[in-house]
Amino acid sequence: MAEQSNTFRYTIKQMPEASRPRERLAERGAQVLSDQELVAIVLRTGSLQATALELASQMLTQLGGLNRLAAATLQDLVEFRGVGLAKAVQLLAAIELGRRIAAAGPEMRPAIGSPEDASALVMEEMRRLDREVFRILCLNTKNRVIANELISQGSLNASLVHPREVFKTAIRHSSAAILLVHNHPSGDPAPSQEDLGVTRRLLDAARIMDIEILDHIIIGDGRYISLKEQGFM
């Protein structure tokens, strides 16, 4: 039997909650996670020798990154210590779903034709959050969503929602237009003066950047308000 190490090791459950992959995904979205964290979530658990994060890191390092992981066979995966048949099958299923989504092409991207479409896209994700979260939906020339990006979280104000961050994200995705979305943890989507002030500031910047802001949607608990429909834009 191999000699057991006396070195203390943290498990993922012993990590600070804000550092755990699942909690980070739930709070900030999948796009902020590293490759290692995403693989760890698919693996779900580690082994006696390694946490799921450590196991994910080993796999990516030894295989040579995501592209090589995507090309791995069932036999390749089960050769890793701590990866049995169940974990290997989970990984292969996740990889195949990614392939099918990519192959499906742009028609799989939801189209936004109204404030109701936009609110429906984010309602379940945002309606019960315990803090204000500001996101933008980046759209292509056919008003299909090409990205749903977190910009800030915390009380909505000009310092947290800076035009630089909003339009840097829009430009990175080559957006033809964007939709602003944030939630009210109280459940009441009625706009505040801060909401209106941030919207005006972003509209002024949008004219300079030549990127259209189609609307600003405020999400409550099962309700929403469109600032465009309310005449504030």
Q: Residues 45-63: pLDDT tens digits?
A: 888 888 889 999 999 999 9
Q: Are 180 and 169 in contact (CB under 8 A)?
A: no
Percent of the chain topping pLDDT 70: 87
Distance between CA atoms of 233 and 195, rounded to whole angstroms?
12
Average pLDDT over the chain reads: 86
Q: Average pLDDT in the 163-189 region?
A: 93
pLDDT band at 119 (very low <50, low <70, confident <90, very high): very high
Instruction: Please tell me which residue, 199 or 130, carries the higher pLDDT value.
Output: 199
How many angstroms separate the Cα of 26 from the Cα of each of 9, 31, 54, 220?
25, 11, 21, 18
Q: Is residue 161 pLDDT above 60, yes or no?
A: yes
Q: Average pLDDT in the 93-119 region?
A: 81
Q: Average pLDDT in the 113-134 region?
A: 90
Helix, strand, or coil (residue 146): strand
Q: Is residue 36 pLDDT above 50, yes or no?
A: yes
pLDDT band at 16 (very low <50, low <70, confident <90, very high): low
16-54 exposure pattern, b = at least 16 Cβ within 10 A, e = fewer: eeeebbeebbebeeeeebeebbbbbbebeebbeebbbbb
Give the per-residue pLDDT at 216. 97
| CATH numbers and ranges of domains, the chain | 12-104 (1.10.150), 115-226 (3.40.140.10)
Contacts of 218 (CB under 8 A, 6+ apart): 181, 182, 183, 184, 189, 190, 191, 195, 224, 225, 227
| CA of residue 233 relative to chain centroid, distance | 27
């801060």: which residue's tokens?
A: 194
Give the per-residue pLDDT at 48. 83
Q: Is residue 1 pLDDT above 50, yes or no?
A: no
Helix, strand, or coil (residue 8): coil
